[in-house]
Amino acid sequence: MDLAKRMRTILEEKKAGDIVILDVRKQTDLADYFVIATGTSNPHLKAMNEQLIVDLKHDGIPCYRHAGAPEGGWLAIDYVDVLVHLFLESQRAYYALEDLWTGATKVK
């Protein structure tokens, strides 16, 4: 959970919107936590993505893999135990991950 909270701090510093941490350990083996955040534009998504990767690498935590492109409105960054989803508002509403994972607990 410390990693997810560190990610939230980085995203807050980059002015991400509506940041949510979901504890999905009881729902899936895919990850322990999802961090979901909204960007205002493609460049904003790119900046949030790059800042996460740089800051966490500096902390000794490398990114396992990432997928998507800012132009698609959804970036997924995999840190094995924590999966980060960065969305444009329209894509976040369309995919509605919080609704998909309704059994997950929101982390304060």
pLDDT at 102 over 90: no
Complete DSSP assignment for 86-103? EEEHHHHHHH-HHHHTTT
Q: pLDDT by residue (tens digit) across 56-89?
A: 999 999 999 999 988 899 999 999 999 999 999 9
Closest C-alpha among 74, 68, 95, 85 to residue 19: 85
Greater confidence, 1 or 56?
Answer: 56
CATH class of 2-100: alpha beta
Instruction: Report the distance separating Cα 34 and Cα 25, nearest Å.
Output: 10
Over range 2-27, report the average pLDDT: 96
CB 107 within 8 A of CB 33: yes
The mean pLDDT value of the chain amounts to 94
**Residue 52's CB: how many other CB atoms inside 10 A?**
26
